[in-house]
Amino acid sequence: MTTNSYEIDQKDKTDRTDPKTILVAVTDIFFYTKVRDALMAKGYKIERARTQQDIAEKASSTTLSAFIVDMNDERLNAFQALETLKADASMKTIPILAFANHEEVDTFHRAKALGVTKIVSRNEFSSRLKDLVEEVAGTHV
């Protein structure tokens, strides 16, 4: 019994899966590198956003498994980013994992009101990154 090249090509196509893509809005290169390395090791494809325009463009042009945002990044208005995502019907279902300084209770409440799936302290984010991403990305249908 022989297998033709068409059958092999079809099998290869069905065995391949596209990596799950996560958009990370973090301007601190060292922190971003830590996030990228941890998630790439779990099979995720990482897209970095450094500006509001990056967020809007990348979120609308890519099928995202999740969006990660640093609520305390002074160079990036996280609340505006959340409003942008939630205003667009095609992006409002993207699961969002946010992190902030644990003392900023108002930031936690405002982020939840804007539709963040999960917000945690910076310390918890650093120590449980992979688990948190799996939990949040697992909510995306």
| 44-49 β-sheet, strand order | 44-49, 20-25, 66-70, 96-100, 118-121
The pTM of the full predicted model, rounded to 2 decimals, is: 0.82
| Number of domains, the chain | 1
Angle at Cα 106 formed by Cα 90 and Cα 135, nearest 5°? 50
Domain span holding position 74 = 19-137
Q: Using CB atoms within 10 Å of the CB of residue 54, give its burial: 0 to 12 exposed, 13 to 18 middle, 19+ buried.
A: middle
In a domain, 4, yes or no: no
Q: What is the CATH number of the domain that holds 91?
A: 3.40.50.2300
In a domain, 117, yes or no: yes
Residue-by-residue pLDDT tens, the chain, 141 positions:
454 444 444 444 333 345 699 999 999 999 999 999 999 999 999 999 999 889 989 988 888 999 999 999 988 899 999 998 888 888 888 999 999 999 999 999 999 999 999 999 999 999 999 999 999 988 554
Tokens matching residue 52:
């509001």
What pLDDT was estimated at residue 120?
Answer: 97
Chain-centroid distance of CA 2 in Å reads: 44
pLDDT of 99: 96
For residue 24, tell me if it sits in a domain. Answer: yes
Separation between Cα atoms, residue 29 and residue 123, nearest integer Å: 17
Domain annotation covers residue 44: yes
**pLDDT score for 48:** 94
Q: Give the tokens for residue 44.
A: 């995720």
| Position 12 in a domain | no
